[in-house]
Amino acid sequence: MEQEKVKVLIIGSGPAGYTAAIYASRAGLNPVLITGGEPGGQLTTTNDVENYPGYPGGVNGPQMMIDFQNQAKRFGTDVRYGMVTAVDFSGYPHKAIVDDKYEIIADAVIISTGASAKYLGLDSEKEYYNKGVSACAVCDGFFYKGKPVALVGGGDTAAEEATYLANLCPKVYMIVRRDELRASKIMQNRVLNSPNIEVLWDTETEEILGDGDSVTGVRVVNRKTGEKKELAIDGFFVAIGHKPNTDIFKEYLDMDETGYLKVIPGTSKTKVEGVFVTGDAADKVYRQAVTAAGTGCMGALDAERFLQSKELETA
């Protein structure tokens, strides 16, 4: 297999990967960035981004990621479309296989593989994605201010997003599969004490309804009685969790029970020297473009300092 040696390898794109690339390039580290299967990450499936500083008129998600990529390229980042299919962090320097075709040997690796929102798997959900269906209330809730919405989920994230939406929307239907919430007691209390949140217990989503251009309603079914009803809504939010794209690192890095990679608090460092994690691959709390970009900066600075210390060791 063909081999290539680089100083810094960035696995994944999106705000974290591209920001790491900008900083690493400006530091003269000549990074190679492998975009991953979804170049630009979750933002490439987002039409309007209005909460990222520097875009006063808002920006289209894919265009924003093109801007990030062009800025990284401007300073010399080698952006390559492809997928890292395996890694070997058992020795130093580190190794990564790209598209099962060639091997990159890197002195430092910055992981920016992100996370993917979980969806219900309905055809109507796919049809109306970005036309009223969203997996991020904080990102998209503003667009439904003054309009009725529905949210599916029963955990802490769902409860948090439901209460967030309740501050914007006159009516929030919370669709819960069980007869109780999995959320913490304090979050349950917030939901149950919000007068404009109606919890639909033992209920599943059967179909998201629309006019072809946008969501107009949702049909739900009670799991115990079989009763079906249609709710008139303008927005449908899915809050059933995210899956971090971290499977290839399981053998080498610490992660929590859901797959989020663990870092030394206050840094982007992992337990393996020279391997750093940025963005949603490690962040299950905030999951915003601006926080991902911030950790991308941290990853590049941590990598730069690590490489400087290595040079001093061998000097």
139 is catalytic: yes
What span, in angstroms and rounded, lies between the C-alpha atoms of 210 and 218? 8
Query: Per DSSP, what are the bridge partners of residue 5?
Result: 105
Is 169 catalytic? The answer is no
Active site residue 140: yes
Residues in the chain: 315
Q: Which residue among the candidates 107, 139, 169, 283 is catalytic per the annotation?
A: 139
- How big is the CA angle at 140 (ends 120 and 68), to the nearest 5 degrees? 100
Which of 140, 280, 283, 302 is an active site residue? Answer: 140
Catalytic residue among 48, 67, 136, 156: 136
- Catalytic machinery residues: 136, 139-140
